[in-house]
């Protein structure tokens, strides 16, 4: 995952969490306001019931005053009650629609109210008609008082019920507030936690990226050094045989003038050698540049076909040096998903080195190619020979640029094993060797499928 992606992901996670917290807080706020509405509702119902009782009481008091004094002004509360009370009862009924018990009570309350109003109406009408005594008798009969008491009792019941509900609703409102506070505290803590984790992970991935960049910088410095040393040596290797040719030409001129034909011929021979040397430098330089620039093309390579190609390519050279190239049975059937150009370069260089550095006078000089599948599934290709071997003291430099350890071997540029190492690196493989006076064994270990992880070879460390 790239650092950018990680950063965006960290930002996204934090943002998503913040959105979630906001949604929860909003729904909580709704819950709190609902509970509060219910509390207010309870207060409203209680208040309305109290108004009912007091207005009815006022109406009764008015009736009594009128009956006793015949003053019509006493009827004002009664007249108001006729208009207001049915409305007030209707309001309480509406407010308690959801509560069936209160609905039953309000029905009863309505009836009691009607009875009471009927009684008030009756007595007032009797009084108006001059039958004051009859009216007072009705009052004295306590019928109206009883109705009033029932009404009061019922109203109290209703109020009590509403008070109980109020208690419950207050409790709920308090709980809603408390849980909302908890949610906010919890969310704050969690937000800090998540932001902290995201910050740690982000900084970690940034520091990983930085150290990766530093490593790249380091390897760039190394390849830069290699490049400098490469330019230094190639310019030398190109120049020196050409300069030789130049001086040979002037010697030949001199000798021809003096008539030294034999010496001239010797020098022409030397010129030829220098031309060969220059060509070899050109060839291996090109190969090295190709190795560096080549675009990797991964395909399934049959090892037996590849080694056969190498064999055909080097057969003539090996024959001229009396070296036998043997192909082991292990090669058969092994395939590798890799870049064939690099693999060919590796195998060809190793085999041609084996041929080049064979022992003079060895009757059974050979280079043996073989391969096997490792326990971990990777492929090991081996190139063994009974040649000169690499002297112990040079073994650490084997894969360096321009390293040659044997004199008098034609066409050596000292780049062969360097190219091999580069190609092995490109194929994510490793290379190691054992070498003594009796010969050398090179082992190239490659992933079966390019791009899969490889175990780190302990030996490859000391090779670079």
Nearer to other proteins, 93 or 273 (CB): 273
Q: Is 364 in the site for other proteins (CB under 8 A)?
A: no
Nearer to other proteins, 303 or 420 (CB): 420
Minimum distance of other proteins from residue 412's CB (angstroms): 8
Selected binder of other proteins within 204, 214, 236, 396 (CB under 8 A): 236
* CB 39 within 8 Å of CB 170: yes
Q: Which stretch binds other proteins (CB under 8 A): 99-107, 182-190, 211-219, 243-251?
A: 243-251
Q: At what angle do helices 416-426 and 340-356 cross, to 10 degrees?
A: 150
Minimum distance of other proteins from residue 389's CB (angstroms): 14
Burial degree of 83 (CB within 10 A; 0-12, 13-18, 19+): exposed
Q: Which stretch binds other proteins (CB under 8 A): 65-73, 75-83, 216-224, 402-410?
A: 402-410
What is the rounded CA–CA span in Å between residue 405 and residue 8?
55
What is the rounded CA–CA span in Å between residue 152 and residue 212?
87
Minimum distance of other proteins from residue 248's CB (angstroms): 6
Strand partners, 431: 444
What is the rounded CA–CA span in Å between residue 191 and residue 195?
6
Selected binder of other proteins within 152, 414, 441, 454 (CB under 8 A): 414
C-alpha distance from residue 43 to each of 37, 107, 184 (Å) = 10, 21, 30
Q: Which residue has the tokens 């109206």?
A: 144
Minimum distance of other proteins from residue 359's CB (angstroms): 18
Nearer to other proteins, 132 or 404 (CB): 404
Phi, psi torsion values for 388, nearest 5 degrees: -70, -25
Minimum distance of other proteins from residue 234's CB (angstroms): 11
Nearer to other proteins, 221 or 249 (CB): 249
Minimum distance of other proteins from residue 444's CB (angstroms): 24
Nearest to 229 by CA among 396, 402, 395, 399: 402
Q: Which residue has the tokens 């994510």?
A: 428
Minimum distance of other proteins from residue 236's CB (angstroms): 5
Q: At what angle do helices 3-69 and 132-140 cross, to 10 degrees?
A: 130
Selected binder of other proteins within 239, 326, 396, 462 (CB under 8 A): 239
Q: Is 275 in the site for other proteins (CB under 8 A)?
A: no
What is the rounded CA–CA span in Å between residue 45 and residue 47?
5
Nearer to other proteins, 329 or 407 (CB): 407
Question: What DSSP letter does each residue of 424-452 carry, written as one string?
Answer: HHHTT-EEEEEEETTEEEEEEEE-SBTTS
Selected binder of other proteins within 144, 244, 416, 439 (CB under 8 A): 244
Size of the residue set binding other proteins (CB under 8 A)? 28
Minimum distance of other proteins from residue 253's CB (angstroms): 13
What is the rounded CA–CA span in Å between residue 367 and residue 381?
13
* CB 298 within 8 Å of CB 337: yes
Nearer to other proteins, 110 or 397 (CB): 397
Q: Which stretch binds other proteins (CB under 8 A): 90-98, 111-119, 209-217, 229-237?
A: 229-237
Of 250-269, binders to other proteins (CB under 8 A) are 250-251, 267
Nearer to other proteins, 246 or 462 (CB): 246
* CB 336 within 8 Å of CB 448: yes
Q: Which stretch binds other proteins (CB under 8 A): 143-151, 218-226, 343-351, 404-412?
A: 404-412
User: What count of other Cβ atoms lies within 10 Å of the Cβ of residue 415?
Assistant: 26
Selected binder of other proteins within 30, 128, 140, 246 (CB under 8 A): 246
What is the rounded CA–CA span in Å between residue 123 and residue 64?
9
Selected binder of other proteins within 247, 373, 376, 392 (CB under 8 A): 247
Q: Which residue has the tokens 């290797």?
A: 237
Minimum distance of other proteins from residue 251's CB (angstroms): 6
Minimum distance of other proteins from residue 349's CB (angstroms): 17
Minimum distance of other proteins from residue 270's CB (angstroms): 5
Q: Is 64 in the site for other proteins (CB under 8 A)?
A: no
* CB 354 within 8 Å of CB 393: no
Q: Is 274 in the site for other proteins (CB under 8 A)?
A: yes
Q: Is 248 in the site for other proteins (CB under 8 A)?
A: yes
Phi-psi region of 389 (alpha: psi -120 to 50; beta: other; left: phi over 0): left
What is the rounded CA–CA span in Å between residue 312 and residue 310?
6
Minimum distance of other proteins from residue 289's CB (angstroms): 21
Residues making contact with other proteins (CB under 8 A)? 232-233, 236, 239-241, 243-248, 250-251, 267, 270, 273-274, 394, 402-408, 412, 414
């Amino acid at each position: 995952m790239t650092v950018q992606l990680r950063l965006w992901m960290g930002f996204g996670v934090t943002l998503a969490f913040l959105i979630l917290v906001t949604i929860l807080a909003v729904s909580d706020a709704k819950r709190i306001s609902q509970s509060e509405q219910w509390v207010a509702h309870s207060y409203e119902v209680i208040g309305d019931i109290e108004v009912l009782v007091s207005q009815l009481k006022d109406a009764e008091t008015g009736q009594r005053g009128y009956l006793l004094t015949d003053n019509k002004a006493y009827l004002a509360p009664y007249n108001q009650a006729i208009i207001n009370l049915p409305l007030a009862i209707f309001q309480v009924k509406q407010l308690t629609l959801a509560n069936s018990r209160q609905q039953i009570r309000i029905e009863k309350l309505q009836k009691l109210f009607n009875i009471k109003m009927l009684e008030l109406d009756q007595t007032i009408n009797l009084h108006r008609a001059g039958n004051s005594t009859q009216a007072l008798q009705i009052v004295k009969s306590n019928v109206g008082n009883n109705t009033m008491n029932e009404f009061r009792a019922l109203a109290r019941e209703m109020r009590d019920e509403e008070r109980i509900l109020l208690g419950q609703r207050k409790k709920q409102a308090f709980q809603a507030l408390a849980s909302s506070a908890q949610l906010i505290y919890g969310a704050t803590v969690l937000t800090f936690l998540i932001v902290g984790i995201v910050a740690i992970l982000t900084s970690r991935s940034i520091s990983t990226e930085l150290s990766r960049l530093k490593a790249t910088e380091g390897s760039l410095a190394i390849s830069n050094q290699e490049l400098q040393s490469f330019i230094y040596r190639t310019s030398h290797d190109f120049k020196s045989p050409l300069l030789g040719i130049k001086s040979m030409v002037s010697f030949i001129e001199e000798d021809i003038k003096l008539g030294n034909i034999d010496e001239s011929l010797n020098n022409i021979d030397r010129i030829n050698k220098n031309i060969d040397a220059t060509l070899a430098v050109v060839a291996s330089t090109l190969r090295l540049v190709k190795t560096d620039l080549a675009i990797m093309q991964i395909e399934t390579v049959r090892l037996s076909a590849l080694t056969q190609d190498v064999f055909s390519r080097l057969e003539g050279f090996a024959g001229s040096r009396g070296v036998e190239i043997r192909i082991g049975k292990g090669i058969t059937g092994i395939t590798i998903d890799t870049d064939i150009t690099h693999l060919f370069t590796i195998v060809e260089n190793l085999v041609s080195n084996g041929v080049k550095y064979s022992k003079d006078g060895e009757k059974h000089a050979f280079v043996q190619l073989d391969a096997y599948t490792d326990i971990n599934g990777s492929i090991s290709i081996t190139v063994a020979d009974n040649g000169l071997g690499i002297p112990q003291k040079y073994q650490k430099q084997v894969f360096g640029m321009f390293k040659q350890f044997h004199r008098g071997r034609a066409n050596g540029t000292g780049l062969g094993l360097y190219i091999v190492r580069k190609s092995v690196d490109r194929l994510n493989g490793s290379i190691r060797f054992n070498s003594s006076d009796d010969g050398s064994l090179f082992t190239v270990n490659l992933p079966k499928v390019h791009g899969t992880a490889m175990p780190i070879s302990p030996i490859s460390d000391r090779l670079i």
